[in-house]
Amino acid sequence: MEELAELCEGVLCANFDAEAAAFSYVCTDSREADADTLFVVMKGEKVDGHDYMVSAAKNGCRAFLCQRIPGELIESELDFAVVTCENSIEALGRFVRTYNEFRGKQTVAVTGSVGKTTTKEMIAAVLSRSFGVCKTHANHNSTIGMPMSLLSLQDSDEMMVAEMGTDDFGQISFMSKIACPHIACITNIGSSHLEVFRSRENISRAKLEIADGLRPGGVLILNGDEPLLGSVHQKNVKTIYVALRNPEADYRAVNIRYGEGETLFDLVRGGETICDIRLAVLGEPYVWAALFAIATAELVGMDMDTVRCGLLGFEKAEMRQNIYDHHGVTVIEDCYNAAPESMRAAADVLKMLAEKRAGARTVALLGDMRELGENSVEYHTGVGRYFFSCGLDRLICVGELAKDIALGALDAGMASEAITVCLDKDETDKIAEAVSGMLGAGDILLVKASRAIGAERILEKIKRTI
């Protein structure tokens, strides 16, 4: 605890020998705190962790990092050693950065408007063929989750793949300076969080904060098809571009084609073409993720045969484009998030599957896309038009915002009787009944929406009725 106070620029207060208050684990939830754990106490918008310090102490926890010491704890007869600081999150960051430096592991950082989790998972899958790899858990890509993931590194881990998300300026910079990555990737600049950032230019600025903590001599891997990233030059940093269309990119995917449940492409790199790189998943977003993974793997010295095996062994994250058969209906379950870019990519996959199955009808259940700002209506109607252009047969729109997807499809020429709108996302039985009545053997159902819609709950009810 004395070391922690020094690292965090905090003040140590203890009612017993502080040297006995060493800890082996760190948590941010009082229910996980015990005698071996440092409880990092934070004050959130709805819950103040300081209110749970006494209950944690009663469970045996004696080490705390917090912003204030509750009077109830001081007055108790419980042992405690507390480091107080101005901001618990910033103090945690300083501690993790020092710990990360001490461990000396190579770090790859990933951000982007869409596709960052898939890219993180793809990079980890490839690197794990040659190295012990730790990665941020699930979507723990925040100013709390990402540092906590760094603490999970094991002695057997040689590399860390850290995902970084943001909904405000400064957050990615904060995380990058903690992780101090050797390699940093920006998948794309999209429309997510326009409500906060107001413009794609500002989103680009926020994503480029990932370079703030890059080590001297580090490498920044960027989307070479994105104009906002086309002229990035960082001091003491090498920049590499990956692309599908830009002929000047360092790594380019060409001749993309699709089979039954797989994607193949050729890689153009340094004047050489490497043919038939295979992914056991469908869609262009996975090709993008593969390009970032290939570039990263080659930077750390992996050979292409090993990279191919890693790409083929990639497994999708939970609730992201899971394609399976259910009682004769092909289901594309993609319920984790939704942005205009990922919606269009999902439409492409739906169309692709339909083209390979004669007579298959396509049904899409689409929900709200959140945090798109003042152009939200335009983005939603654009998605509706795009789905219609892909030959969609039936459309179900769920949520207050998603009604504009329906309007876009209607405006593009889709028949009104082929469109169903349900403004209340909680009417799951009604929605499931409507969708089930549209489906028959051989049809294809796509379910995609922002997490707030809870589309996975609707899908479970649909599956019980078909």
Q: What is the H or E stretch that residue 82 is in? A: strand 81-84
84-93, 254-263, 345-354, 447-456 — which is least confidently predicted?
447-456
Task: Give the pLDDT score at 5.
Answer: 93
| Mean pLDDT (whole number) for 434-438 | 89
Is the Cβ–Cβ distance between 84 and 139 less than 8 Å?
A: no
Residue 310 has pLDDT above 90, yes or no: yes
* Predicted local confidence at residue 454, as pLDDT: 84
Per-residue confidence (pLDDT) for residue 391, from 0 to 100: 95
Residue 86 CB contacts under 8 Å (≥ 6 apart), including other chains: 67
What distances in angstroms separate CA 167 from CA 171, 172, 204, 208, 370, one per listed residue? Answer: 8, 9, 12, 14, 12
- Beta strands 272-279 and 262-269: pairing type? antiparallel
Q: What is the dihedral of CA 425, 430, 431, 434, to 10 degrees?
A: -160
**Number of C-beta neighbours around residue 142 at 10 A:** 18
Q: What does the pLDDT read at residue 15? A: 84
> Average pLDDT for residues 315-334, to the nearest whole number?
84
Residues 441-460, mean pLDDT to the nearest whole number? 89
Asked if residue 63 lies in contact with residue 74, where contact means CB atoms within 8 angstroms, the answer is no
Token readout for 360 is: 């298959």
Ranking 40-49, 93-102, 310-319 by mean pLDDT, the lowest is 310-319
- In this prediction, residue 373 carries a pLDDT of 85
Query: DSSP code of 316?
Result: P
- pLDDT > 80? residue 92: yes
The identity of residue 89, as a single letter, is I
Considering the chain, what is the average pLDDT of its residues?
92
Instruction: Give yes or no for residue 277 having a pLDDT over 90.
Output: yes
What is the reported pLDDT for 319? 58
Average pLDDT, integer, range 102-121 = 93
Closest CA to 243 of 210, 218, 221: 221
Backbone angles phi, psi at 298, to 5 degrees: -70, -30
List, in order, residues 6 or more apart from 378 with CB less than 8 Å away.
Answer: none
Quickly tell me which residue has 């794609």 as its tokens.
200
Average pLDDT over residues 353-382: 91
Find the range with the poorest average confidence among 175-179, 181-185, 443-447, 448-452.
448-452
At residue 338, the pLDDT reads 86
Instruction: Using alpha carbons, select from 331, 334, 320, 319 the residue that is nearest to residue 435.
Output: 331
Its sign, for the CA torsion 373, 375, 378, 383, is negative
Q: For residue 316, what are its two tokens?
A: 């999708």
Position 16 pLDDT exceeds 80? no
